[in-house]
Each structure stands twice: as structure tokens, then as C-alpha cells.
Amino acid sequence: MGLHLGDAAPNFVADTTDGEIDFYNWKGDSWTVLFSHPADYTPVCTTELGRTAALKSGFDERNTKVLALSIDPIEDHHGWAPDIGEVFGTALNFPIIADPDHKVAELYDMIHPGEGDTSTVRSVFLIDPANKIRMTMTYPKSTGRNFDEILRVVDALQIADQYEIATPVDWQPGDRVIVPPDVSTEDARSKFSNVEEIKPYLRWADNPAK
């Protein structure tokens, strides 16, 4: 069975470029982005990890840790890391799991045999401080992910949790938000500013985080 939104993210112990970690102990009370890439020394993966390294301060500001994985051995990870810094100008600043026995990849269903080999596809799991899976994405091996979008989802989930609101299509931090359907318009006007009822089921409000 695969993992679903709301499931507990499985714990594991693994070797990484920062040493051995127990996942739950390592993440602590942080949000975590756990993502897999197919292989070291490959072009798309190099661009993805380089971009993630450049966004490290943004993840830090959101109390979010980043953890990558491939089934390559730890020696390859250490050998490849300097390329990431050289090509993208930011040294690798987050750990990469070495998973040659596929233990973590199989635990998180990151290997899709229909993709042609036993390497991991481009899976993403966003895990909250309570170790619950809050978002998943899976990209094909040929398509690099948009890590700005991952940051946007972190922002959307964090504001939704804090203020019990929802976020509309293409929402960005600072934009107006949506009142959830289970909150009446009357109650919404006592909780939020500038509530606008477009339809009985569609109510806008000013961003409470502003």
C-alpha cells in the first residue's frame, strides 16, 4: 500500500552525507521536505539539488528541513557534491541519503518499475512537525521540479494550520485567502477582515498573516 495524505511518515535510520541519522530525531519539530532523485552525476538532478541549496535560507525561515535521497552509495554523493557547488554557486548544505539497499525508497514507494530501472523517480513528501504527510508530488525522471512551488505549498499549509483558512489557485504569501466551507459567513466576519461573499460557498478574506 502506498502512503497517503494524513498518514504518519515512516521513520528510518539511514546513512547520509552528514552521517547516520534517525529520521524522526533528525527532523525534530520541524517541517521536512523529503525528496528523491534518480541518480548522482546526472544533469537534471544536479540542477535540482543546486536550486534547493540556493533556497536553503527560505526553507530555514519556514522551520523546514530538506533531505534528499538516491540509491547511489555514499561515496558517490560525496564525490558529486562539489559539482553542485561549482555549477550553481551554492555548496551542498543539506544531507543526501545513500540508499543502495532501497530500504527507504521502498518504504516511501519511490521506485516505479514502469519507469525502466530500479532508480528512484522524483518523489516529494512534505511532512509536518507531527510527522504527518501533508503533500506529495511525483515527477517523471526527465522533468525537473519547481522548488519555489514547494516553498509556496509550505507557506500555504502553515498559514492554513495557523488561521484555519484555505488558499485559492495560484495563491502567494500576502494574497487574500478563502474562508473554509464549514465556517458561516457570519462567523467568518467575526474572525477575518474584509470578508467578501462571491457565492454562499466562496468567500474571500484579507490575509490574516499580513
Residue in 14, 33, 34, 45 annotated catalytic: 45
Establish whether 45 is a catalytic residue.
yes
C-alpha separations of 80 from 45, 70, 96 in Å: 11, 12, 11
Residues tagged active-site:
45
